[in-house]
Amino acid sequence: MAAADSPRRFPVLPLGDRVALLALSVAVFLAIEARSGHLFSWDGGIGWSYAAVPALVLAALVLRRRFAPLPWFLHSLEIAVGKFAVTAGMLMVVLIVSKPPPRPPVQAPPPAVRAAEAVLPDPPVAAGQLRGRVLRGGRPVRALVFVSGGLPAYRWPVPASPLRLTNDGTGILPRLAAAQVGQQILAASRDGRLHTLLLQQEGTAWRFNVPLLASGAEAAVAPASASGVLEATCAVHGAAERPATLVLVPSPFFQWTQADGSYAFVGVPAGSLTVTALAEDGTSAGGRVTVVVGSSASADLTLAP
């Protein structure tokens, strides 16, 4: 009689039952996250997966005919802590696997070369103009136009305002953006989930990856001296989000076309230049044009249908 009335000592449930409850709670978490399509994201699915733990523990205690409030609380806390440890470990494995391999060390150039690169000449005062239109099927189209080649390296002033990129859960926005090399770029998550901003350049092994925290804090993006057309994706969610394009131009000669498809650059150094138009759907067109001092050169570009 005394033995039957004595309080049960914790743990009440055997080890096998607790391990099974832990595995079941992790399975519930994975099922909820898989259904949402965003694994390891800070969304309501995580909260619901923890809410299932007390219910599972209660069911196990009732089946064992060992229910009591204190063991119910302690076992629920035990399973919740264990679930957090397991899922956190899984998240770390995902982040480590998705992290790009480290870039090989770059051998520093000799001091003489560094000094020569640091002292770039100012752009010439005598310059010309470059104008044109971007068309598709004879109609104007919204496109990003930029001088993509032919300009010597000059010490161009960098815009003071930063380029801001966001991830709203569908991918990097805007889908097509441009910045001058050296211009400040800030990126942030806007859906309360962890993302990364992964920049890659087609045809090269160059990669740059920066985390975008679920808190929404802006992260500085400093892709060294990279230039050209880069693909922007999220290493955490991959194909679940749409890719975007970031164009880094080493000069201030980039702009969006006007409503009539026109663009105009002033103060362009003389020479044979390459001008490129890139539309938001990924189609592009380019051409060569010669700019003469004091004159206006014309380069109309036609995008493929």
Question: pLDDT tens for residues 111-145?
Answer: 444 444 457 899 999 999 999 999 999 999 999 99
Task: Confirm if 37 and 170 have CB atoms less than 8 A apart.
Answer: no
Q: Is 12 exposed, middle or buried (0-12, 13-18, 19+ CB in 10 A)?
A: buried
Per-residue pLDDT at 49 exceeds 90: no
Strands (E), 168-227: 172-173, 176-180, 185-189, 195-200, 207-212, 219-221
Single out the residue of 158, 230, 146, 240 nearest to residue 193, CA to CA: 240
Determine the average pLDDT of the residues in 219-242.
Answer: 91
C-alpha torsion 231→236→239→244, nearest 10:
-30
Task: Confirm if 87 and 27 have CB atoms less than 8 A apart.
Answer: no
CA angle at 27 for the pair 22 and 32, rounded to the nearest 5°:
130
Single out the residue of 268, 245, 238, 210 nearest to residue 41, CA to CA: 238
pLDDT score recorded for residue 157:
93
Q: Distance of CA 53 to CAs 24, 41, 45, 139, Å?
A: 9, 19, 13, 61
Q: What is this structure's pTM? A: 0.65
Residue 37 banded pLDDT, cuts 50, 70, 90: low
Over residues 128-187, the pLDDT tens digits come to 999 999 999 999 999 999 999 999 999 999 999 999 999 999 999 999 999 999 999 999
Residues of the chain with CATH 2.60.40.420: 125-302
E strand or H helix at 286, and its extent?
Answer: strand 284-291
Determine the average pLDDT of the residues in 278-297.
Answer: 95
Class of domain 125-302: mainly beta
